[in-house]
Amino acid sequence: MAVAGPSPTGSLPRLRFFLFVLTIFLTATADEAVAAAGSGGLSIGINYGQIADNLPSPSRVSWLLQSMQVNKVKLYDADPNVLSAFLGTGVEFVVGIGNENVSAMTDPAAAQAWVQHYVVPYHNLPISTTTTTRRTRMITCVTVGNEVFKGNDTSLKASLVPAMRSVYGALAAAGLQGQVNVTTAHSLDIMGSSYPPSAGAFRPDAAPYMTQLLDFLSTTNSPFLINCYPFFAYRDDPKGVPLEYVLFQPNAGVTDPNTGLNYDNMLYAQVDSVYAAIQALGGQYAGVDVKISETGWPSMGDPDETGATPEYAGVYIGNLLRRIEAKQGTPRRPSVPIDVYVFALFNENLKPGPASERNYGLFYPDGTPVYNVGLRGYLPPVEDSDGTRKVIHLFALIAMASITLILS
Protein backbone atom coordinates (compact mmCIF):
# COMPACT_ATOMS: atom_id res chain seq x y z
CA MET A 1 0.00 0.00 0.00
CA ALA A 2 1.48 3.30 -1.09
CA VAL A 3 1.96 6.04 1.46
CA ALA A 4 1.02 9.49 0.25
CA GLY A 5 3.78 12.12 0.51
CA PRO A 6 3.20 15.48 2.14
CA SER A 7 1.31 17.98 0.08
CA PRO A 8 3.30 21.12 -0.89
CA THR A 9 0.51 23.17 0.60
CA GLY A 10 0.21 21.05 3.76
CA SER A 11 3.06 22.93 5.41
CA LEU A 12 1.48 26.35 4.91
CA PRO A 13 -0.48 26.42 8.20
CA ARG A 14 2.68 25.53 10.08
CA LEU A 15 4.67 28.14 8.15
CA ARG A 16 2.08 30.81 8.85
CA PHE A 17 2.09 29.84 12.52
CA PHE A 18 5.90 30.03 12.62
CA LEU A 19 5.93 33.49 11.03
CA PHE A 20 3.23 34.66 13.39
CA VAL A 21 5.33 33.54 16.37
CA LEU A 22 8.36 35.23 14.79
CA THR A 23 6.40 38.48 14.55
CA ILE A 24 5.43 38.30 18.20
CA PHE A 25 9.04 37.50 19.15
CA LEU A 26 10.51 40.41 17.22
CA THR A 27 7.96 42.82 18.65
CA ALA A 28 8.64 41.54 22.16
CA THR A 29 12.38 41.85 21.58
CA ALA A 30 11.95 45.51 20.71
CA ASP A 31 9.82 46.05 23.81
CA GLU A 32 12.44 44.35 25.97
CA ALA A 33 15.13 46.58 24.45
CA VAL A 34 13.28 49.64 25.69
CA ALA A 35 13.63 48.44 29.27
CA ALA A 36 17.11 46.96 28.90
CA ALA A 37 18.85 50.15 29.92
CA GLY A 38 17.33 49.98 33.35
CA SER A 39 18.36 46.36 33.98
CA GLY A 40 22.02 46.41 33.00
CA GLY A 41 24.11 48.13 30.38
CA LEU A 42 27.23 50.22 30.73
CA SER A 43 28.45 51.29 34.15
CA ILE A 44 29.42 54.71 32.86
CA GLY A 45 27.14 57.74 32.59
CA ILE A 46 27.08 60.40 29.87
CA ASN A 47 26.57 64.16 29.99
CA TYR A 48 23.89 65.24 27.52
CA GLY A 49 24.59 68.90 26.79
CA GLN A 50 22.46 70.84 24.33
CA ILE A 51 24.30 74.08 23.54
CA ALA A 52 23.89 73.56 19.81
CA ASP A 53 21.44 74.22 17.00
CA ASN A 54 21.90 70.98 15.07
CA LEU A 55 21.21 68.19 17.56
CA PRO A 56 18.71 65.37 16.99
CA SER A 57 15.42 65.46 18.84
CA PRO A 58 15.30 64.02 22.37
CA SER A 59 13.16 61.10 21.16
CA ARG A 60 15.87 60.07 18.70
CA VAL A 61 18.56 60.56 21.34
CA SER A 62 16.56 58.25 23.59
CA TRP A 63 16.91 55.45 21.05
CA LEU A 64 20.60 56.20 20.54
CA LEU A 65 21.38 55.88 24.24
CA GLN A 66 19.25 52.78 24.69
CA SER A 67 20.95 51.09 21.75
CA MET A 68 24.29 51.87 23.44
CA GLN A 69 22.97 50.38 26.70
CA VAL A 70 23.61 53.64 28.55
CA ASN A 71 21.39 53.85 31.62
CA LYS A 72 22.74 56.98 33.34
CA VAL A 73 22.43 60.48 31.86
CA LYS A 74 23.32 63.87 33.31
CA LEU A 75 21.57 67.07 32.21
CA TYR A 76 22.41 70.66 33.00
CA ASP A 77 18.75 71.53 33.43
CA ALA A 78 15.53 69.56 33.85
CA ASP A 79 14.08 69.95 30.36
CA PRO A 80 10.64 68.26 30.34
CA ASN A 81 11.00 67.61 26.60
CA VAL A 82 14.06 65.46 27.27
CA LEU A 83 12.64 63.71 30.31
CA SER A 84 9.35 62.96 28.55
CA ALA A 85 11.23 61.40 25.63
CA PHE A 86 12.80 58.90 28.04
CA LEU A 87 9.60 57.89 29.84
CA GLY A 88 9.45 54.14 30.34
CA THR A 89 13.04 53.51 29.23
CA GLY A 90 14.57 52.87 32.64
CA VAL A 91 17.29 55.47 32.02
CA GLU A 92 18.14 57.37 35.21
CA PHE A 93 18.84 61.10 35.21
CA VAL A 94 20.84 63.66 37.12
CA VAL A 95 19.04 66.96 36.53
CA GLY A 96 20.33 70.44 37.25
CA ILE A 97 19.33 73.85 38.53
CA GLY A 98 21.34 76.54 36.74
CA ASN A 99 23.51 79.07 38.56
CA GLU A 100 21.07 81.80 37.57
CA ASN A 101 18.35 80.11 39.65
CA VAL A 102 20.34 79.16 42.74
CA SER A 103 19.48 82.30 44.72
CA ALA A 104 15.77 81.84 44.04
CA MET A 105 15.94 78.28 45.39
CA THR A 106 16.79 79.58 48.87
CA ASP A 107 13.06 80.31 49.14
CA PRO A 108 11.41 77.04 50.29
CA ALA A 109 8.26 77.86 48.33
CA ALA A 110 10.23 78.28 45.10
CA ALA A 111 12.11 75.05 45.75
CA GLN A 112 8.86 73.21 46.40
CA ALA A 113 7.35 74.52 43.16
CA TRP A 114 10.45 73.44 41.23
CA VAL A 115 10.41 69.93 42.69
CA GLN A 116 6.70 69.51 42.01
CA HIS A 117 7.15 70.58 38.39
CA TYR A 118 10.45 68.95 37.44
CA VAL A 119 10.91 65.92 39.72
CA VAL A 120 7.63 64.53 41.06
CA PRO A 121 6.06 63.78 37.62
CA TYR A 122 9.03 61.58 36.72
CA HIS A 123 9.18 59.47 39.85
CA ASN A 124 7.85 55.99 40.59
CA LEU A 125 7.06 55.35 36.94
CA PRO A 126 5.98 51.94 35.62
CA ILE A 127 8.21 50.17 33.10
CA SER A 128 6.46 47.34 31.32
CA THR A 129 7.89 44.54 29.22
CA THR A 130 6.14 41.53 27.77
CA THR A 131 6.68 39.62 31.02
CA THR A 132 6.86 42.07 33.91
CA THR A 133 5.94 45.51 35.13
CA ARG A 134 8.17 47.30 37.60
CA ARG A 135 8.46 50.81 38.94
CA THR A 136 11.56 52.93 38.84
CA ARG A 137 12.77 56.38 39.76
CA MET A 138 13.73 58.36 36.71
CA ILE A 139 15.52 61.18 38.55
CA THR A 140 18.16 60.08 41.05
CA CYS A 141 19.97 63.34 41.75
CA VAL A 142 19.54 67.12 41.55
CA THR A 143 22.61 69.31 41.11
CA VAL A 144 22.14 72.83 42.45
CA GLY A 145 24.45 75.06 40.43
CA ASN A 146 27.52 74.08 38.43
CA GLU A 147 31.11 75.10 39.23
CA VAL A 148 29.82 77.84 41.52
CA PHE A 149 33.23 78.46 43.09
CA LYS A 150 34.95 79.04 39.77
CA GLY A 151 33.73 82.64 39.62
CA ASN A 152 33.78 85.61 41.96
CA ASP A 153 30.07 85.87 42.73
CA THR A 154 30.10 85.85 46.53
CA SER A 155 26.31 86.09 46.69
CA LEU A 156 26.00 82.94 44.58
CA LYS A 157 28.48 81.09 46.78
CA ALA A 158 26.66 82.13 49.95
CA SER A 159 23.30 81.02 48.49
CA LEU A 160 24.47 77.56 47.43
CA VAL A 161 24.05 75.49 50.59
CA PRO A 162 20.83 77.24 51.70
CA ALA A 163 19.40 76.52 48.23
CA MET A 164 20.44 72.87 48.51
CA ARG A 165 18.72 72.63 51.89
CA SER A 166 15.52 74.09 50.44
CA VAL A 167 15.53 71.66 47.51
CA TYR A 168 16.18 68.74 49.83
CA GLY A 169 13.35 69.88 52.09
CA ALA A 170 11.01 70.06 49.09
CA LEU A 171 11.99 66.53 48.07
CA ALA A 172 11.36 65.30 51.60
CA ALA A 173 7.94 66.96 51.61
CA ALA A 174 7.16 65.08 48.40
CA GLY A 175 8.14 61.78 50.01
CA LEU A 176 11.39 61.51 48.05
CA GLN A 177 13.81 61.89 50.95
CA GLY A 178 16.64 59.38 50.55
CA GLN A 179 15.57 58.57 47.00
CA VAL A 180 16.85 61.67 45.19
CA ASN A 181 20.25 63.11 46.14
CA VAL A 182 20.98 66.83 46.22
CA THR A 183 24.50 68.05 45.50
CA THR A 184 26.53 70.42 43.29
CA ALA A 185 29.37 69.94 40.80
CA HIS A 186 32.77 71.57 41.22
CA SER A 187 35.61 72.46 38.90
CA LEU A 188 38.99 71.04 39.91
CA ASP A 189 40.25 74.58 40.39
CA ILE A 190 38.47 74.51 43.73
CA MET A 191 41.66 72.81 44.88
CA GLY A 192 44.46 74.90 46.32
CA SER A 193 46.77 71.88 46.25
CA SER A 194 46.42 68.52 44.50
CA TYR A 195 49.97 67.11 44.47
CA PRO A 196 50.86 64.78 45.92
CA PRO A 197 47.32 63.43 46.22
CA SER A 198 47.62 62.94 49.98
CA ALA A 199 48.32 66.68 50.36
CA GLY A 200 45.11 67.69 48.60
CA ALA A 201 43.50 70.81 50.04
CA PHE A 202 40.72 73.18 49.05
CA ARG A 203 41.49 76.80 48.23
CA PRO A 204 41.57 78.92 51.41
CA ASP A 205 38.76 81.15 50.11
CA ALA A 206 36.55 78.12 49.44
CA ALA A 207 37.26 76.14 52.60
CA PRO A 208 34.60 77.86 54.79
CA TYR A 209 31.91 77.08 52.21
CA MET A 210 33.19 73.52 51.89
CA THR A 211 32.61 72.85 55.58
CA GLN A 212 28.95 73.87 55.25
CA LEU A 213 28.62 71.85 52.07
CA LEU A 214 30.19 68.72 53.53
CA ASP A 215 27.96 68.98 56.61
CA PHE A 216 24.98 68.86 54.25
CA LEU A 217 26.36 66.07 52.04
CA SER A 218 27.28 63.83 54.96
CA THR A 219 23.91 64.35 56.64
CA THR A 220 21.93 63.58 53.48
CA ASN A 221 24.27 60.83 52.21
CA SER A 222 24.86 62.70 48.95
CA PRO A 223 28.04 62.58 46.84
CA PHE A 224 30.69 65.24 46.24
CA LEU A 225 30.86 65.87 42.48
CA ILE A 226 34.06 66.95 40.74
CA ASN A 227 34.77 67.78 37.09
CA CYS A 228 38.21 66.40 36.19
CA TYR A 229 40.06 66.98 32.92
CA PRO A 230 43.64 65.63 32.69
CA PHE A 231 43.62 67.11 29.18
CA PHE A 232 44.02 70.58 30.68
CA ALA A 233 47.22 69.59 32.48
CA TYR A 234 48.71 68.08 29.33
CA ARG A 235 47.60 71.00 27.14
CA ASP A 236 49.22 73.52 29.47
CA ASP A 237 52.48 71.59 29.95
CA PRO A 238 52.96 68.91 27.26
CA LYS A 239 56.68 68.64 27.98
CA GLY A 240 56.28 68.24 31.72
CA VAL A 241 53.22 65.97 31.82
CA PRO A 242 53.78 62.48 30.34
CA LEU A 243 51.17 61.67 27.71
CA GLU A 244 50.97 58.05 28.88
CA TYR A 245 50.12 59.22 32.40
CA VAL A 246 47.07 61.20 31.27
CA LEU A 247 45.87 58.62 28.70
CA PHE A 248 45.86 55.57 31.02
CA GLN A 249 48.67 54.00 28.99
CA PRO A 250 51.45 51.85 30.50
CA ASN A 251 53.90 53.96 32.50
CA ALA A 252 55.91 53.86 35.72
CA GLY A 253 53.39 56.09 37.43
CA VAL A 254 53.88 58.54 40.26
CA THR A 255 54.32 57.44 43.87
CA ASP A 256 52.87 59.56 46.65
CA PRO A 257 55.77 60.08 49.10
CA ASN A 258 53.40 60.34 52.07
CA THR A 259 51.36 57.19 51.49
CA GLY A 260 53.50 55.07 49.19
CA LEU A 261 50.52 54.67 46.86
CA ASN A 262 51.40 54.51 43.17
CA TYR A 263 49.26 56.30 40.58
CA ASP A 264 49.47 55.18 36.97
CA ASN A 265 47.08 57.88 35.73
CA MET A 266 46.30 61.50 36.53
CA LEU A 267 42.53 61.13 36.84
CA TYR A 268 42.73 58.83 39.85
CA ALA A 269 45.34 61.09 41.45
CA GLN A 270 42.98 64.04 41.05
CA VAL A 271 40.09 62.15 42.65
CA ASP A 272 42.21 61.04 45.60
CA SER A 273 43.43 64.59 46.12
CA VAL A 274 39.78 65.59 46.60
CA TYR A 275 39.32 62.77 49.13
CA ALA A 276 42.37 64.09 51.00
CA ALA A 277 40.99 67.64 50.96
CA ILE A 278 37.68 66.40 52.39
CA GLN A 279 39.43 64.44 55.12
CA ALA A 280 41.53 67.47 56.02
CA LEU A 281 38.33 69.28 57.01
CA GLY A 282 37.32 66.56 59.46
CA GLY A 283 37.03 62.82 59.91
CA GLN A 284 33.26 63.15 60.17
CA TYR A 285 33.19 63.50 56.38
CA ALA A 286 34.89 60.17 55.69
CA GLY A 287 31.63 58.70 54.40
CA VAL A 288 31.20 61.25 51.60
CA ASP A 289 31.82 59.63 48.20
CA VAL A 290 33.58 61.52 45.43
CA LYS A 291 32.10 61.03 41.96
CA ILE A 292 33.32 62.38 38.63
CA SER A 293 30.52 64.47 37.16
CA GLU A 294 32.53 65.35 34.05
CA THR A 295 35.63 64.07 32.30
CA GLY A 296 36.51 63.90 28.64
CA TRP A 297 39.02 64.71 25.93
CA PRO A 298 38.43 66.98 22.92
CA SER A 299 38.87 65.61 19.41
CA MET A 300 39.77 69.03 18.02
CA GLY A 301 41.07 72.34 19.32
CA ASP A 302 42.78 75.59 18.46
CA PRO A 303 46.42 75.47 17.24
CA ASP A 304 47.71 76.15 20.76
CA GLU A 305 45.61 73.36 22.32
CA THR A 306 48.18 70.60 22.23
CA GLY A 307 46.75 67.09 22.36
CA ALA A 308 43.24 67.88 21.12
CA THR A 309 43.03 65.11 18.51
CA PRO A 310 40.59 62.29 17.76
CA GLU A 311 43.37 59.75 18.31
CA TYR A 312 44.11 60.93 21.86
CA ALA A 313 40.41 61.37 22.62
CA GLY A 314 39.74 57.79 21.56
CA VAL A 315 42.59 56.43 23.68
CA TYR A 316 41.51 58.40 26.76
CA ILE A 317 37.83 57.47 26.60
CA GLY A 318 38.50 53.88 25.52
CA ASN A 319 40.94 53.20 28.36
CA LEU A 320 38.65 54.94 30.84
CA LEU A 321 35.71 52.77 29.76
CA ARG A 322 37.74 49.60 30.28
CA ARG A 323 38.67 50.64 33.81
CA ILE A 324 35.11 51.59 34.69
CA GLU A 325 33.69 48.33 33.36
CA ALA A 326 36.31 46.49 35.44
CA LYS A 327 34.85 48.31 38.49
CA GLN A 328 38.24 49.69 39.39
CA GLY A 329 38.74 51.99 42.35
CA THR A 330 41.42 54.58 43.05
CA PRO A 331 44.58 53.69 45.02
CA ARG A 332 43.13 55.44 48.08
CA ARG A 333 39.81 53.58 47.82
CA PRO A 334 40.51 50.46 45.73
CA SER A 335 37.32 48.67 46.81
CA VAL A 336 35.02 51.54 45.79
CA PRO A 337 34.37 51.49 42.01
CA ILE A 338 34.84 54.94 40.57
CA ASP A 339 31.63 56.55 39.28
CA VAL A 340 32.04 58.62 36.10
CA TYR A 341 29.93 60.70 33.73
CA VAL A 342 31.73 61.20 30.42
CA PHE A 343 31.58 64.61 28.78
CA ALA A 344 29.87 64.64 26.37
CA LEU A 345 27.34 62.87 24.16
CA PHE A 346 27.50 65.29 21.19
CA ASN A 347 29.76 68.00 19.87
CA GLU A 348 28.03 71.29 20.74
CA ASN A 349 28.58 73.90 18.04
CA LEU A 350 27.34 76.92 20.02
CA LYS A 351 29.52 76.59 23.10
CA PRO A 352 31.70 79.65 23.69
CA GLY A 353 35.43 79.56 24.32
CA PRO A 354 38.27 77.79 22.50
CA ALA A 355 37.58 75.26 19.75
CA SER A 356 38.05 72.35 22.14
CA GLU A 357 34.88 73.36 24.00
CA ARG A 358 32.83 72.50 20.92
CA ASN A 359 34.52 69.15 20.30
CA TYR A 360 34.16 66.93 23.36
CA GLY A 361 31.38 64.80 21.87
CA LEU A 362 31.42 61.05 21.42
CA PHE A 363 29.09 61.54 18.45
CA TYR A 364 28.43 64.01 15.69
CA PRO A 365 24.83 65.30 15.56
CA ASP A 366 24.00 62.76 12.83
CA GLY A 367 24.80 59.90 15.22
CA THR A 368 28.12 58.82 13.71
CA PRO A 369 30.99 58.31 16.20
CA VAL A 370 33.66 61.01 16.31
CA TYR A 371 36.19 58.26 17.05
CA ASN A 372 35.98 54.54 17.65
CA VAL A 373 35.97 53.28 21.23
CA GLY A 374 33.52 50.43 20.67
CA LEU A 375 30.44 52.49 21.53
CA ARG A 376 27.98 51.88 18.72
CA GLY A 377 24.47 53.17 18.71
CA TYR A 378 21.50 53.57 16.42
CA LEU A 379 20.05 57.03 15.78
CA PRO A 380 16.69 56.45 14.04
CA PRO A 381 15.90 58.64 11.03
CA VAL A 382 12.34 59.21 12.26
CA GLU A 383 11.10 61.49 15.02
CA ASP A 384 8.85 58.88 16.63
CA SER A 385 10.63 57.46 19.68
CA ASP A 386 8.69 54.26 19.10
CA GLY A 387 9.76 54.12 15.48
CA THR A 388 12.33 51.37 15.71
CA ARG A 389 9.89 48.97 17.34
CA LYS A 390 7.31 49.74 14.67
CA VAL A 391 9.83 49.15 11.89
CA ILE A 392 10.77 45.77 13.35
CA HIS A 393 7.11 44.83 13.70
CA LEU A 394 6.27 46.02 10.19
CA PHE A 395 9.24 44.16 8.72
CA ALA A 396 8.07 40.92 10.31
CA LEU A 397 4.51 41.39 9.03
CA ILE A 398 5.74 42.11 5.49
CA ALA A 399 8.00 39.07 5.58
CA MET A 400 5.13 36.85 6.72
CA ALA A 401 2.76 38.20 4.07
CA SER A 402 5.34 37.95 1.28
CA ILE A 403 6.33 34.35 1.99
CA THR A 404 2.67 33.34 2.36
CA LEU A 405 1.84 34.85 -1.03
CA ILE A 406 4.80 33.13 -2.67
CA LEU A 407 3.87 29.72 -1.31
CA SER A 408 0.10 29.97 -1.70
Residue 285's identity, in one-letter code, is: Y
- Catalytic choice (32, 244, 294, 357): 294
- Is 348 part of the annotated catalytic residue set? no
- Catalytic choice (32, 92, 100, 147): 147
Question: Number of helices and strands (H, E) in the chain?
Answer: 11, 14
CA angle 181, 105, 171 (to 5 degrees): 35
**DSSP symbol at 286:** T
Helix segments in 207-327, DSSP class H: 207-220, 230-236, 243-246, 266-280, 310-325
- Is 305 part of the annotated catalytic residue set? no
Contact 196, 257 (CB under 8 A): yes
Q: DSSP per residue over 160-206, as a string?
A: HHHHHHHHHHHHHHTT-TTTSEEEEEEEGGGEEE-SSGGG-EE-TTT
Q: DSSP per residue over 324-376, as a string?
A: HHTT---SSSTTS---EEES-SB--TT--SSGGGG---SB-TTS-BSS-SS--
Q: Which residues are known to be catalytic?
A: 147, 294
